[in-house]
Amino acid sequence: MICQGWVGKRGDVYPNHGEAIAHMLNIAVDQNWLGAFESNMITTLCTIAVLESIFNPRIRLDSRLWTLPETFGPRTTVQEMSNIESLKLRNFARMPDLLRDSNSDPAAIRSAYDVVQSDCKKMATLLSAVPIISSVHGGSTGQHLPVSVRRLHVRQQTGYGILLALAITLNSTLLLHADTTASDRDILRLEAAAYVDEVISLATQAAQYRPLGSSSTPLCLLAAWGRTSDAAKQQRLEALIVEYQSDFELTNWLDVALSIKPRIGANVT
């Protein structure tokens, strides 16, 4: 996302660096790249492209990429993130098609949502273990932590942001489905409101690592802004979007948010 200024142009509705990455990946799939470095690089790029493809219908990836065995997460001896099923590439990569296809099986969407919810709880628990302190700006900071812990903190925040964006989008998809009962809709609205609160908290904390360490945060902010109709929350989210906007000057994130709101903003609380 830091490279958006190199591959995008001012006024793009969608941040099209994801399209450039998708093009490179679709070419790379035919290459004989078997080394650990190449595998890790492809996995990281796939994660970026898949996340953006949820909101950008122009991004299409070769399905052969999903055979990679790698798991998105920290390349450290800490293994907790390997238990986050939704972030494993083979599962994560199926999300765009599941969300784009209006004929998707509601049971499959519900199953994916349940897994994402469980993973959100796991990731929130991991983040709660990081000893952060309050900052003078009203957020929290981990700048006092060792570099290795801060790196892990960034990766966990990134993973949590992706999960929250998925949770909000799946939640909206279920709300719009005709088979969802009235009582389930009430529950989904309450859950969505909680996820929006989590996005606000996460984006406030992640701002300390801008721009490189929080480059995926705008996407979860867009999902949260599109999902809520609470005026105070929208105002706070807009302020955060404007703050992160300074890192990606060629992309107007509020315009992107407006473009996706019809897809995820129906039946909001």
98 occurs within a structural domain: yes
Quote the pLDDT of residue 2.
47
28 occurs within a structural domain: no
31 occurs within a structural domain: no
Token pair, residue 144, equals 């006092």
Mean pLDDT in consecutive groups of 10 residues from the start of the chain, 269 residues:
48 59 76 68 74 76 66 43 79 81 82 96 89 52 72 88 92 86 93 96 90 78 91 93 77 67 58
86 occurs within a structural domain: yes
How far is the C-alpha of 52 from the C-alpha of 19, rounded, in Å?
A: 9
**Residue 201: burial class (beta carbons within 10 Å; 0-12, 13-18, 19+):** middle
159 occurs within a structural domain: yes
Q: Which domain holds residue 116?
A: 74-264
161 occurs within a structural domain: yes
Quote the pLDDT of residue 214.
72
Distances from the Cα of 139 to the Cαs of 36, 122, 135, 204, 205, in angstroms? 37, 22, 5, 6, 6
Q: Helix 147-176 and helix 36-53: axis angle, to 10°?
A: 40
Quote the pLDDT of residue 225.
92
Instruction: Please state the domain count of the chain.
Output: 1
138 occurs within a structural domain: yes
Q: Is-contact 209 154, C-beta < 8 A?
A: yes
185 occurs within a structural domain: yes
What confidence tens digit (pLDDT) does each residue in 16-59 have? 567 777 777 777 777 766 666 776 777 777 777 777 777 777 88
